[in-house]
Structure 1
């Protein structure tokens, strides 16, 4: 038996003993950050796929039988605005895995909506977490970047509302409406320019010289 099969078997055994009412698939990684596809090892992309794509699928499959028996439940999958009509150059694999999550959620919503199980994909823009530091130089709380607590409060209020795909945070919805008015070519140019700038900053920060000169306790935040 493969290691992944064994892990899934153990997960299913554990879930059988639990009454899972709400599942939130929130685990995700963005590492290696802003890079061209050829610049990262294949292993890095495989790790991202395992967490962002396979794990969502496996855990969802594990809890669904119990929810079906009880005739109720909710599954919330964390997607990304980067998968919804906006290109994300230098973060291609991340955006692609989140597109899977969105389509996975949309189809499951249709499959199970008559059984009392609500399945939803939430698609936020930036939220002020260390993971967001892998996407933009400015990732701390701001007018358009809510704190994790602020986003979580909005997210909880949208469970069971908004259909299979939703944007719980009002500021994120306003940002989405703004992007919808910008021509695609302009979006591509802007996102590529900003991500190339951030790639340069990350490469400089990760260089051996920068690591040797950086004072202890002042390193770059973790991207994961």
Structure 2
């Protein structure tokens, strides 16, 4: 953060886009993962976003202009809950409320703060099952084009029409139906993630064993 503040001190930063985010370790119950994993997620999704925003705001205030775009998530906006991703959805809700309040605080100073709320975008965070619904999953380029056109138009927005349609469809169902459907889907993801973690551990153990054997041969 010190290096960042020094780097932006002499720059005319007109726009900041806070887009970094992590969802690892994926679909799990809170007690199943060491607390350090949740702390890492909070550091990226909430703390880093706050620190970087605080670093550029003084320059924007001096110049009387600027735009800050924070990328939230439909999981914290369109859905009643997001089971097995509780910390992730909480951090994204933070982004939404943080953006709303900053917008009110700095609007009169010529600084526009906006939270964009994407739904399904083809990234590593979207499961392969969701990608089967191709007509509802945007490519990163398609989302970016829509996102750019909406900057400066509202504090909270869902830039793409396909995503707005997804949000409307979700609101059609009662909360308990959506909650149950998401829990069942995420429990299936949990099984897949557990298998992947188990496989990775076995691979790492194999590599460590091979490395130890190679070391012994060299010593001999």
Output the TM-score relative to the length of structure 1: 0.86
Confirm whether residue 33 of structure 1 aligns to residue 26 of structure 2: yes
Matched length: 202
Deviation of residue 211 (structure 1)?
6.1
Confirm whether residue 202 of structure 1 aligns to residue 193 of structure 2: yes
Output the TM-score relative to the length of structure 2: 0.87
List gaps (5 residues or longer) in structure 1. Answer: 1-7, 213-224
Partner of 1:168: 159
**Is the CA contact 2:103–2:112 (under 8 Å) kept in the aligned structure 1?**
yes
Describe how 1:33-112 pairs up with structure 2 within 5 A: 33-86=26-79, 87-112=81-106
**Is the CA contact 2:15–2:67 (under 8 Å) kept in the aligned structure 1?**
yes
Q: What SS is found at the alignment partner of 2:179?
A: helix
List gaps (5 residues or longer) in structure 2. Answer: 204-220
**Is the CA contact 1:128–1:140 (under 8 Å) kept in the aligned structure 2?**
no
Confirm whether residue 129 of structure 1 aligns to residue 131 of structure 2: no
Structure 1 residues 68 and 175, CA gap change in structure 2 (3 angstroms)? same
**Is the CA contact 1:129–1:139 (under 8 Å) kept in the aligned structure 2?**
no
**Is the CA contact 1:120–1:159 (under 8 Å) kept in the aligned structure 2?**
yes
CA deviations 1:61-102 (Å, max 9, x no partner) are: 010111111111100001001111521000000000000000
CA separation in 2, counterparts of 1:147 and 1:211? 34
Describe how 1:10-25 pairs up with structure 2 within 5 A: 10-25=3-18
CA separation in 2, counterparts of 1:203 and 1:30? 15
**Is the CA contact 1:79–1:102 (under 8 Å) kept in the aligned structure 2?**
yes
Deviation of residue 9 (structure 1)?
2.5
CA separation in 2, counterparts of 1:51 and 1:23? 16
CA separation in 2, counterparts of 1:188 and 1:119? 31
Q: What SS is found at the alignment partner of 2:125?
A: helix
Structure 1 residues 95 and 198, CA gap change in structure 2 (3 angstroms)? same
**Is the CA contact 1:127–1:141 (under 8 Å) kept in the aligned structure 2?**
no
Partner of 1:139: 131
**Is the CA contact 2:83–2:182 (under 8 Å) kept in the aligned structure 1?**
yes
Deviation of residue 206 (structure 1)?
2.8
Q: Which has the higher contact order (CA 8 A, sep 6+)?
A: 1
Confirm whether residue 180 of structure 1 aligns to residue 166 of structure 2: no
